[in-house]
Structure 1
Amino acid sequence: MDFARSGDLSLLWFLEETSRNEAETRLVAEIKNCPFEQQKQLVFLIGRWCRARGVWGGIALDARGNGQNLAEEAVLEFPGSAAAVMETPAWYAEWFPRLRTMLDEGTFFVPDDEAVKSDFSIVQLKNGVPHIPPLRTADRDGKGKRHGDGAAGAALALYAWSELAADPLPVACGGACARSSGGIRWQRKRKSLSRT
């Protein structure tokens, strides 16, 4: 979950593992100007609902700035399946190239949505490291601005998918997760995203 209180968006990116090395986006939920407590309630509702149905894979939350409190509470609520992620240059250097590789290979899918796609367009290299600069793009309502929220949410989703899921569950999102009841058998936890 890429977290924001006002100005930018909070963004939950839901993934479903469709094969051992492929994840499909099932939902991208954008939350605008929502109080801290209600964002916590939403994250906990989703997590508890998924866990009760045996479809909880994991959640990675932005733990910088205002998101730190929610991330810490989620780690306590969902031990072992929630991560408080400090999106540092070192973290970006590891996870944005992985995301880019999967996008290029067609093993990670982004919705056909102009606002979400625009979030990826502002990612830049700084000293060879991908980062989200202090640029803003127009929001879908024309009133607000976006700050790479979709790109950050996708990278957090990828982190949750590759680091937090454990047998026999699928991995999910940078916000929450879901698994279809279509009879897909989920594989072991992956440490590598290389194709076999």
Structure 2
Amino acid sequence: IAAAAKSAGGDSTYYIGDTKDKGLEFISTCAGFAKHVAKELLTIDEFLFDDVQPDGSSKQIAAYRIRFASGFAIVALSSNPANIRGLQGRVIIDEAAFHRNVAAVIDACNALLIWGGVIRIISTHNGNLNPFNELIKETRAGQYDYSIHTITFDDAVENGLYERVCLMRGWEPSPEGKAEWYRKIRRAYGSRVEAMREELDALPREGEGVLLPLAWIEACSTDRYQLRRWSPPPRHAQLGEFVHWPERTRKAEMLMWLEEQVRPVLKAYAGQGFTWFLGEDFAMRQDRTCLALGFTDQQLKRHVPLIIEMAQCPYDQQKQALFWAVDLVMDLNRFGGGILDANGNGMALAQEAAQRYGPERIVELMPSDAWRRETGPRFRASFEDGTILIPADADIRGDLRQLQTIGGVAKMPTDIRTKGTDGGKRHGDGAIALWNFHAATMNETIPDYAYRPIRAGTGTGHGADDDDDGESRNWWRPPLGAGRGMGAI
């Protein structure tokens, strides 16, 4: 392509490998083919490539290049460039799964498509959680227009790899030699079967630290259950950002959303006789606050019919949504208790929830390794055994995939930040909410009764006792389920 004239479709090619040596090897191979196929006498020259950084500064990195009489070139960049938007041509991103930030490299290359360029992304796998494999899954889901080509070791053998090796090595090919060579390659991995499948069969391995394999999560996901997302309304011309709206207006906005989006889901499960539980993960400016609401059925299977997810939600509205949802659950069924994230700003909300519903119901959780050791294996086992059912959602699945076993303990790594389907940042929020929900269900079921005092002059607990925004103010109830052994850790 580089040797062809522009009128014949000629163009330059930029190779981006993960190491300097691979760039040099690529250029040498191209030069060798050019000499034999295009009959061109070529030399490889080394030069400094100006790599423009996101902040506008630039640094020079070593690069290799061969020029053709057509005016085009093949250029091998010796590291991961931050920005090649000023170039035109075709791009090959090699060993993409091993780049430090392959997503940034791809974003930089996308500008070449405007001028008719082509992007080729090539790699062996490097685990199921790697951005390269995520790109493949998203392409298969229709989110990109890439075409996927899979070439396994067996494909290469079928197309003459063994014979090529014999030619290069000076061996005499034979059926017996081929079988022995094939067996030797496979057996070289020993007991590391997953590593062999990843390298030879293009099947990404789960990775030693992955807590929940993808197949388990998807088997426990159903589109019968719902995830309801709240995000602040657009900036108002007079009122400004939602967080600065008057309190009454903010409450009315949240209440309307709860009535429209949440009440129908919870009402569908009214009067089933099962005990409901809550798991919560708190966030404010970035990440998401998640509320996982569900129950344990007669066969001890955990169901999560509803996850409420709130992005950039003011504290007051998080409290409003939490109290509204739990109050509605208590009206429709029984509420056994919940575990709330008490880290950082979540401590205040967890404390207020414990004051409202009783400390025997609400655990203000600051998780320790001891707590994770106790609850993590049970949470994992629920997915392995298929005894939990959750909403089918790409973001929730992605959150659960971030959980890892570190030092023998299930954890959410602190340095993990992923991008959700809405473009916002996530830190495994849905996974922590589900983990807390599951841990809450491990307590003994509360007795089948509850107590709600009624103010004088009202016939029910929902008269003068209600706030004007429809948020029922249920007074503190006597401790239910005392002795269930759930202490804050």
Q: What letter corresponds to residue 161 of structure 1 in structure 2?
A: T
Q: Which of 443, 452, 458 is 1:163 aligned to?
A: 443
Q: 1:135 to 1:13 in 2, by over 3 A?
A: same
Q: What letter corresponds to residue 122 of structure 1 in structure 2?
A: Q
Kindly state the Cα deviation for residue 164 of structure 1 after the two structures are TM-superposed.
6.7
Partner of 1:13: 292
What is the correspondence of 1:1-196 to structure 2 with a 5 Å cutoff?
1-79=280-358, 80-133=360-413, 134-142=415-423, 144-163=424-443, 165-168=445-448
**Is contact 1:61-1:85 (8 Å) kept?**
yes
Q: Distance in 1 between matches of 2:299 and 2:337?
A: 16
Q: Classify the secondary structure of the residue corresponding to 1:45.
A: helix
Q: Classify the secondary structure of the residue corresponding to 1:58.
A: strand
Q: 1:155 to 1:39 in 2, by over 3 A?
A: same
Q: Classify the secondary structure of the residue corresponding to 1:42.
A: helix
Q: 1:190 to 1:78 in 2, by over 3 A?
A: closer
**Is contact 1:81-1:164 (8 Å) kept?**
no
State the structure with bigger RCO (CA 8 A, min sep 6), 1 or 2.
1
With normalisation by structure 2, the TM-score equals 0.33
Q: Distance in 1 between matches of 2:300 and 2:444?
A: 15
Q: Classify the secondary structure of the residue corresponding to 1:57.
A: strand
Kindly state the Cα deviation for residue 48 of structure 1 after the two structures are TM-superposed.
2.0
- How many residue pairs get aligned? The number is 171
Q: Distance in 2 between matches of 1:55 and 1:23?
A: 15
Q: Classify the secondary structure of the residue corresponding to 2:367.
A: coil
Q: Mean alpha-carbon deviation: is it higher for 10-19 or for 45-54?
A: 45-54
Percent of aligned positions with the same letter in both sequences?
33
Q: Distance in 1 between matches of 2:284 and 2:368?
A: 20
Q: What letter corresponds to residue 139 of structure 1 in structure 2?
A: G
Determine which structure has more spread, i.e. the larger CA radius of gyration: 2
Residues 30-68 of structure 1: CA deviation (Å, up to 9, x unaligned): 111011111111111122222234432222100111100
Kindly state the Cα deviation for residue 21 of structure 1 after the two structures are TM-superposed.
1.8
Q: 1:82 to 1:115 in 2, by over 3 A?
A: same
Q: 1:190 to 1:75 in 2, by over 3 A?
A: closer
Kindly state the Cα deviation for residue 100 of structure 1 after the two structures are TM-superposed.
0.5
Q: Classify the secondary structure of the residue corresponding to 1:110.
A: strand
Residue ranges of structure 2 left out of the alignment (5+ in a row): 1-279, 450-482
Q: Distance in 1 between matches of 2:382 and 2:406?
A: 21
With normalisation by structure 1, the TM-score equals 0.80
Q: What letter corresponds to residue 60 of structure 1 in structure 2?
A: I
Q: CA RMSD, aligned part only?
A: 2.0
Kindly state the Cα deviation for residue 88 of structure 1 after the two structures are TM-superposed.
2.2
Q: Distance in 1 between matches of 2:298 and 2:427?
A: 31
Q: Classify the secondary structure of the residue corresponding to 2:374.
A: helix
Q: Distance in 2 between matches of 1:167 and 1:4?
A: 33
Q: Distance in 1 between matches of 2:332 and 2:395?
A: 32
Q: Distance in 2 between matches of 1:11 and 1:164?
A: 24
